[in-house]
Every structure is written in structure tokens, then in C-alpha cells.
Structure 1
Amino acid sequence: MADLLRRTRRAYARDHARPLGGYLAALAGYGAYVTGWAAAVRRSGAAPPDRAEPWDVALTAVATFRLSRLLTKSAVTSPLRAPFTTYHGPQGPAELDEKPRGGARRTAGELMTCPFCMSVWVGTALTASRVLWPRATRAAVATMATVAGADALQLAYTLLTDRVTKD
């Protein structure tokens, strides 16, 4: 593994300095995270469904989108990100622009400011939670999907009122 990391670092060093050790740790962390969820499901005796229902997948996707943005961009959750990021200013409605700190905290900062990266972790949690606690997870997913819909309506309303008042 150390040899693979050295070879990869050499290949990347030509163009960009990347925190490959941190990324490797994040991959290992995600592997442990998935293993933990799998162990919890196995211990519970709950059986995963034979197939995913399309409606559940769609709602989980919307909830994953919303919860990932909430965790990575919202002002309210900025205290969770603060040890790993620096504030740069507002970014869109109710969102912040933050950059990862350097050093050992860089990889965590990248994960905590990237909704695309965070969605892998959130989607995993929501999917595993649906197996362990289907009713509670459906309620949580419905809540996040509702918030995502309300956000879309708020943005649409703002866009329409801006158009009307400019004319």
C-alpha cells in the first residue's frame, strides 16, 4: 500500500500537489463506515429488500441532495465545518463559501465543503437506515425531500418577484 501511495504521489507531483494520504485515509474511513452499517444491519437481523422501489430511490436521492447541501453549505451547520475550513463569504441563498484548511485537515475540509462528496456518505446512511429503521427513515427522508421542494419554491418565488419588480 505504501508503494502504491509513493507511485501515485510521484505521478501527481508533476502537475498538482494533492493530499493523497488524506484521500487514502478517507477511503479507508468510508470502508469502515460501510462495514459498520453492514454489521449493524446483520446484527439487527433485518433483511435488505429484494429490490429498491423506484419511489424510495427518488425520495432518497432528493433527501440526500438536500441533507448534503445542508451539511456542506448551510450557515447553521458551519460550526461543524469550522475546524476544517475557512470562511470566505456568502454563496447563494442561505449558503456559505468556505475553503478547506491546509495540512492534515485538508481532506476533511474538502469532504465537508463538497456536497457531491458528502452525498456518498449521506446516501449510504439513508439507505442503511431504511433497512434498520424503515418507518423513521421514511419520515426523515420525507422531511428532507419536503425541505428540498420548499427550497425550490422559495428560489422560484424570488426569481418571479425579481422579474415582476424589474418590469
Structure 2
Amino acid sequence: MTQARLARAYSPHEHRPLDGYVVTMGAFGVLSASLVAAAKLTGAPVPERPALADVALISIATHKLSRLIAKDSVTSPLRAPFTRYAEPAGAAELNEEVRDEGSSVRHGIGELVTCPFCLAVWVATGLTGGLVLAPRFTRLVATVLTATAVSDFLQMAYSMAKEKAEG
């Protein structure tokens, strides 16, 4: 069965960019395999069990970086080839629509780059690979992202407290 027929059979009433999903899954496989190969080639020690502090740091940094890529106003030029601006989403974030014209690969990438949940696995994989290949630098970058995420929550809490106090 051809890919186009498969896509029509899979979702006859709505376009689903299966070709685009295959390409993005392939790219993720290449990213993952490249990190493994780099670790083997460099002889970088891979921990048997990551430290809990690193897991917490990478988790919060993943949250922040995923949202920065998928939603931040400043990073919209990265998403523009795959999306169209829809509306502001508050706190310097945007809502964008995935472009329907063009290829299913463009559409699939558009869905990926506008979804912080979808990007999280990519970001976490990159940061985790960074912990193996360049741990000091990765921890430094993750610390900046984590501090920014905590600051975001504190800014929102401050705004909510201020609104409540003002009645």
C-alpha cells in the first residue's frame, strides 16, 4: 500500500501528515543514534543511573526550552516556515496554526515545533546527551533554563498575588 493510500485509509475525513511523521521520527532516530555514536567515539562515561539532581535539573530545563521553542514570540522566526501567526497567548507566548499548504513533511514539522509536549522528548534527549558528552556546559545551560522557568512561575505568582491584593 502506498503512503498516500495508507494515509487516506488511516484518516479518511481529516488530513494526517503521516509522511511528515515518518520523517520526524527518522530525524529523532538519527539524533539519538548520533548521540550514542558520539559517546562511544569519545569514550565519554555513561552513568549507570543518572543523579537525581541531574534529572530534576534536566526536567525543568526541558520544560522551559520546549516552551521557548514552541511558543515564545522571539523564536517565531524558527517556526515561521511551518506555521502562521494566530494570536497572542499571554506572557510573551503565541498561538500559531500549522500551515496546511505544501508538503506533509512541512505540516509534520509544524505540528512538532508548535507543541511543547512533542518537543520535550527531543529537548530531553539533547540535554541528556549533553550530560554525557559535555556535562559541565550542559549543567550550566540547564541551570539558566531552570532559573528562567522558576522565575516565570514567580512572576506569575506575584501577578496573581498583586491582583488579589488590589481586589
User: Aligned partners of 1:46, 1:60: CA distance in 2, in Å?
Assistant: 19
Q: Which amino acid in the other structure matches residue 87 of structure 2?
A: G
Matching residue of 1:159: 160
Q: Which runs of 5+ in 2 are unaligned?
A: none
TM-score by length of 1: 0.92
Matching residue of 2:74: 76
Matching residue of 1:136: 137
Matching residue of 1:107: 108
Query: Superposed, which structure 2 residues align to 1:48-63 within 5 Å?
Result: 48-63=46-61
Matching residue of 1:37: 35
Change (3 A) 1:7 1:84: closer
Q: Displacement of 1:11 after TM fit?
A: 3.6
SS at match of 2:146: helix
Matching residue of 1:122: 123
| 1:64 and 2:46 correspond | no
7, 14, 18: which one aligns with 2:16: 18
User: Aligned partners of 1:50, 1:114: CA distance in 2, in Å?
Assistant: 31
User: Aligned partners of 1:110, 1:13: CA distance in 2, in Å?
Assistant: 17
Deviations 1:88-135 (A, max 9, x none): 110021100111112322111111100011111100000000001111
Greater relative contact order: 1 or 2 (C-alpha under 8 angstroms, separation 6 or more)?
Answer: 2
Q: Which runs of 5+ in 1 are unaligned?
A: none
Q: Displacement of 1:5 after TM fit?
A: 4.2
Matching residue of 2:91: 93
Q: Which aligned segments of 4 or more residues in structure 1 are displaced greater than 6 angstroms?
A: none
TM-score by length of 2: 0.92
